[in-house]
């Protein structure tokens, strides 16, 4: 059974003419022990979705089930108990500014009336786990952004939750710090088995740690599945727009005019190669040029090699001559490299 | 009166002023602190919205705050007499002082509690905090520096009111200034009392600001 199950979830803010449908019939299943990404543009409804999971936001309709408990049927004390099973971290860290790191981590234990000595012991241990040993007495104002988020993570884990919700948890951090926080989340997922839900607008965050992803656009789940699958072969328009940024008229890295020139029809069609890890990390484009004896130009490329396999996208402009272009395309098919015609 | 004689009036008047101010401030907080929190908690965006109660309490606070102190002082005389047994003297002055100060204090407290970051309150809710725990473990401690600053402002305001009460039968610096200074045209007395009052205001404000700064862990 899924750890988190959202079923026909809708959330409407306001009513009448000013009604905002932040979520519209969203259904989602997140399995025990996975790191699940939810990605979408600003205003898509990501925060609303994640806040519905611990009922910080009451859904207008639909049900939320976490670890077998129907959250949407709980109230008062029962809801507060259930929330202790769900840790949450935020973009702004949201630490208590008048408490030390240790006291912050101890806070959820105080709420649950855990004896002080025991709570202190556990808080110390957690700070050690997140790499903040020796900073127990520091106040949030004395810590860097990355350290604050580590304190927040320790605090979220204090009550031994089954689920950790992260709403844009790395959006306020620089790339290096982001990397280290993502690494920590992955580590905690592996060692504690905690199910992690990552809300973000950054593809690299999802690519880095998530096993599955849901794309949310205009209050709907546009697409969901394995990260590689969704990112390399997006099916819906919404997903393509998010995952393939250069499709939106302009080719990334080029100015508008350059992009138009680059796409000049008399200079041949544009094709997009998708590398999904099936190709070994070898100089594919150079091979193609040498084998076919024809030049191509690289319009856009975003590929990386992970464990010797090639992932990502490259947009090529083929020569205007159709026969040569066909030859190149045939070579690609023979090599088992999938491509699609790039629409302008 | 000689300067020496004037100075000999100071200790008792000063003590009465301090006594009225501290006493009234303390009592005003006994009522105003919970009231301020009720206003924040029951507000539309509070942790337990209660529209009707919030509106009624807000209206009462606004009503009391709109009555000028001098008028209130005379208006509540029957009440003062009922509570204190008399309407004259430092103790008696505490009644109108508290009645006029607690709505002001409630607004100061409300303002301080509102400054607490909404995100922190939500994070606490996400951790399963009850509303009472949010008030006692989040709002109150997080607002502490701001509350201390507010207390200094409240105390100095009440000190000012106490001088006014002194002019109309209360004790303290105000009463000496009026009785010796104004009625007997001894402006030196008035001047000395003003100076003492100024020093007292400075001391109250400074200790409040200092206390707030020491308590605030966001700096340093
Ligand atoms: N409390 C609220 N009252 C009214 N409308 C709201 C409220 N919270 C969110 N909304 C609206 O719901 C929609 C979805 O908001 P949400 O915060 O979930 O988006 P998001 O995907 O998290 O965006 P971002 O990336 O900017 O954080 C937006 O149109 C927003 O204006
Ligand atoms: Mg958001």
Distance from CA of B29 to the nearest CA of A (A): 22
Of B126, B141, B145, nearest to A54 by CB-CB distance is B126
User: Alpha-carbon distance B151 to B148, whole Å?
Assistant: 5
Contact residues for B128 (Cβ-Cβ < 8 A; gap 6+): A80, A81, A82, A83, A84, A108, A111, A112, A159
Domain end residue (candidates: A200, A234, A268)? A234
Chain A nearest CA to B22, separation (Å): 27
Residue A239 lies in a domain: no
- Residues in B touching A53 (Cβ below 8 Å): none
CATH number, domain containing residue A82? 3.40.50.300
Question: Under a CB-based contact definition with an 8 Å cutoff, are residues B172 and B90 in contact?
Answer: yes
Neighbours of ion ligand 2 (CB under 5 A): A 47
pLDDT of residue A248: 40
The ipTM assigned to this model is: 0.88
Asked if A98 lies within 8 A of B142 by C-beta distance, the reply is yes
Both structure tokens of B182: 């104004």
Contact B112, B143 (CB under 8 A): yes
Q: Are residue A47 and residue A177 in the same domain, yes or no?
A: yes
Domain housing A143? 2-234
With tokens 């001559």, the residue in question is A321
Contact B217 A98 (CB under 8 A): yes
Task: Tell me, yes or no, whether A214 lies in a domain.
Answer: yes
B138: Cβ–Cβ under 8 A, 6 or more apart, which residues?
A: A96, B116, B120, B121, B124, B129
Chain B residues with CB under 8 Å of A88 CB are 123, 126-127
pLDDT digits (tens, 9 = 90+) for A189-203: 999 999 999 999 888
In a domain, A181, yes or no: yes
According to DSSP, the β-strands at A86-90 and A163-167 are parallel
Query: Average pLDDT of B21-30?
Result: 95
Strand partners, A223: A215
Kindly state whether residues A48 and A195 are assigned to the same domain. yes
| pLDDT tens-digit series, residues B27-42 | 999 999 999 999 999 9
Residue from A224, A231, A187, A191 nearest A209 by CA: A187
Q: Are A197 and A4 in contact (CB under 8 A)?
A: yes
pLDDT at A339: 86
Burial of residue A208, with CB atoms counted within 10 A of its CB: 0-12 exposed, 13-18 middle, 19 or more buried: buried
Indicate whether A129 and A101 sit together in one domain. Answer: yes
Residues of B in contact with A97 (CB under 8 A): 117, 120, 142, 217-218
**Which of A54, A83, A97 lies at the smallest CB-CB distance from B218?**
A97
User: Does A220 lie in the same domain as A258?
Assistant: no
Go through the domains of chain B in sequence order and give each one's CATH number.
3-215 (1.10.3720.10)
- From A184, A208, A234, the end of a domain falls on A234
Quick one: which of B35, B169, B7 has its CA closest to B108?
B35
A to B CB pairs, distance under 8 Å: 78
Check pocket membership of A201 for ligand 1, CB cut-off 6 A.
yes
Contact A97 B217 (CB under 8 A): yes
The pLDDT value recorded for residue A307 is 59
Is residue A240 included in any domain, yes or no? Answer: no
Instruction: Please state whether beta strands A35-39 and A195-200 pair in parallel, antiparallel, or not at all (unpaired).
Output: parallel
Q: What is the structure's pLDDT at A269?
A: 82
Q: Is A173 among the domain residues? A: yes
Whether the predicted pLDDT of B65 surpasses 70:
yes
> Does B128 contact A108 at a Cβ distance shorter than 8 Å?
yes
Q: Quick one: pLDDT band at residue B200, thresholds 50, 70, 90?
A: very high
Which ligand gives the minimal distance to the CA of A39? 1
Q: Are residues A223 and A284 in the same domain?
A: no
Q: Are A1 and A68 spatial neighbours (Cβ–Cβ below 8 Å)?
A: yes
Question: Do A191 and A283 share a domain, yes or no?
Answer: no
Longest dimension (CA), chain B: 69
**CB-count exposure of residue B101 (10 Å: 0-12, 13-18, 19+):** buried
Residue nearest to atom 14 of ligand 1 (CA): A45
- Ligand 1 centroid vs A13 CA: distance in angstroms? 9
Residues whose CB is less than 8 angstroms from the CB of residue B169 and which lie 6 or more positions away in sequence, other chains included: B87, B88, B89, B92, B93, B175
pLDDT score, position A254: 52
Burial of B171 (0-12, 13-18, 19+ CB in 10 A): buried
Co-location of A8 and A116 in the same domain: yes
Point out the residue among B127, B145, B215 whose CB comes nearest to the CB of A107.
B127
The residue whose CB lies within 8 Å of the most ligand 1 atoms, and thus the one to mutate among A17, A21, A22, is A22
Residue A247 has a pLDDT of 42
Question: What percent of chain B has pLDDT above 90?
Answer: 64
pLDDT band at B4 (very low <50, low <70, confident <90, very high): confident
Kindly report the CATH number assigned to the domain that includes residue A325: 3.30.70.260
Residue whose Cα lies nearest atom 31 of ligand 1: it is: A43
Q: Is A132 a domain residue?
A: yes
- B217 contacts on A by Cβ (under 8 Å): 97-100, 139-141
* A99 contact partners, CB below 8 Å, separation of at least 6: A107, A139, A140, B141, B217
Does residue A78 belong to any structural domain of this protein?
A: yes
pLDDT top residue among B125 and A294: B125
Residue A335 CB-half CA count within 13 A: 24
Shared-domain flag, residues A94 and A155? yes
Q: Are residues A270 and A212 in the same domain?
A: no
A181 and A81 within one domain = yes
- Provide the number of structural domains found in chain A: 2
3-state secondary structure (DSSP) of residue A22:
strand
* A77 chain-B contacts, CB cut-off 8 A: 130
Tell the residue number behind the tokens 């948890």, with chain if given: A169
What does the alpha-carbon distance between residue B12 and residue B191 come to, in Å, rounded to a whole number? 17
- The answer to whether residue A320 is domain-embedded is yes
Same domain, A200 and A297: no
What does the pLDDT average to over B10-29? 92
Which residues, given as ranges, of chain A have pLDDT below 70?
A: 244-266, 280-281, 305-308, 344
Mutate to test the pocket of ligand 1, among A11, A13, A16, A200 (most ligand atoms within 8 A of CB): A13
Same domain, yes or no: A175 and A313: no
């Amino acid at each position: 059974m899924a750890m988190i199950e959202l079923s026909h979830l809708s959330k409407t803010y306001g009513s009448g003419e000013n009604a905002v449908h932040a979520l519209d019939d969203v259904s989602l299943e997140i399995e025990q022990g996975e790191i699940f990404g939810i990605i979408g543009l600003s205003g898509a409804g990501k925060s609303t979705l994640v806040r519905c999971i611990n009922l910080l936001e009451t859904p207008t309709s639909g049900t939320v089930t976490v670890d077998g408990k129907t959250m949407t049927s709980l109230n008062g004390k029962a809801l507060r108990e259930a929330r202790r099973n769900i840790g949450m971290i935020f973009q702004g860290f949201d630490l208590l500014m008048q408490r030390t790191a240790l006291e912050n981590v101890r806070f959820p234990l105080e709420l649950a009336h855990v004896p002080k000595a025991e709570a202190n012991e556990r808080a110390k241990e957690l700070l050690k786990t997140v790499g903040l040993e020796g900073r127990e007495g520091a106040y949030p104002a004395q810590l860097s952004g990355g350290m604050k988020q580590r304190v927040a993570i320790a605090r979220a884990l204090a009550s031994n939750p089954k689920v950790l919700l992260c709403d844009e948890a790395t959006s306020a951090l620089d790339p290096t710090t982001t990397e280290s926080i993502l690494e920590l989340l992955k580590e905690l997922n592996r060692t504690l088995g905690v199910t992690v839900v990552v809300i973000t607008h950054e593809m690299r965050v999802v690519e880095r740690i998530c096993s599955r992803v849901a794309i949310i656009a205009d209050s709907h789940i546009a697409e969901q599945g394995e990260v590689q699958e969704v990112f390399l072969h997006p099916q819906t328009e919404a997903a393509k727009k998010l995952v393939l940024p250069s499709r939106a008229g302009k080719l990334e890295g080029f100015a508008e005019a350059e992009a138009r020139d680059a796409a000049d029809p008399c200079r041949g069609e544009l094709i997009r190669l998708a590398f999904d890890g099936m190709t070994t990390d070898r100089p594919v484009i150079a091979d193609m040029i040498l084998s076919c004896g024809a030049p191509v130009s690289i319009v856009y490329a975003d590929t990386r090699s992970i464990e010797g396999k090639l992932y990502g996208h490259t947009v090529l402009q083929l020569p205007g001559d159709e026969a040569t272009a066909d030859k190149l395309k045939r070579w690609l098919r023979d090599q088992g490299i999938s491509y699609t015609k790039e629409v302008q | 009166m000689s300067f020496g004689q004037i100075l000999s009036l100071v200790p008792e008047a000063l003590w009465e002023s301090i006594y009225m101010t501290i006493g009234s401030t303390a009592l005003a907080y006994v009522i105003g602190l919970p009231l301020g929190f009720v206003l924040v908690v029951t507000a539309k965006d509070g942790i337990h919205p209660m529209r009707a109660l919030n509106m009624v309490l807000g209206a009462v606070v606004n009503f009391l705050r709109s009555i000028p102190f001098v008028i209130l002082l005379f208006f509540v005389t029957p009440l003062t007499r009922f509570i204190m047994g008399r309407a004259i003297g430092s103790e008696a002055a505490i009644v109108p002082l508290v009645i006029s100060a607690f709505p002001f204090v409630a607004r100061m407290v409300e303002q301080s509690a509102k400054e607490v970051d909404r995100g922190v309150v939500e994070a606490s809710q996400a951790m399963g905090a009850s509303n009472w725990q949010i008030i006692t473990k989040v709002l109150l401690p997080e607002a502490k520096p701001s509350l201390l600053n507010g207390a200094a402002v409240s105390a100095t305001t009440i000190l000012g009111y106490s001088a006014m009460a002194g002019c109309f039968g209360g004790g303290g610096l105000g009463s000496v200034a009026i009785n010796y200074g104004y009625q007997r045209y001894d402006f030196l007395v008035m001047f000395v009392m003003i100076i003492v009052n100024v020093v007292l205001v400075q001391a109250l404000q400074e200790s409040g600001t200092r206390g707030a700064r020491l308590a605030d862990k966001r700096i340093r």
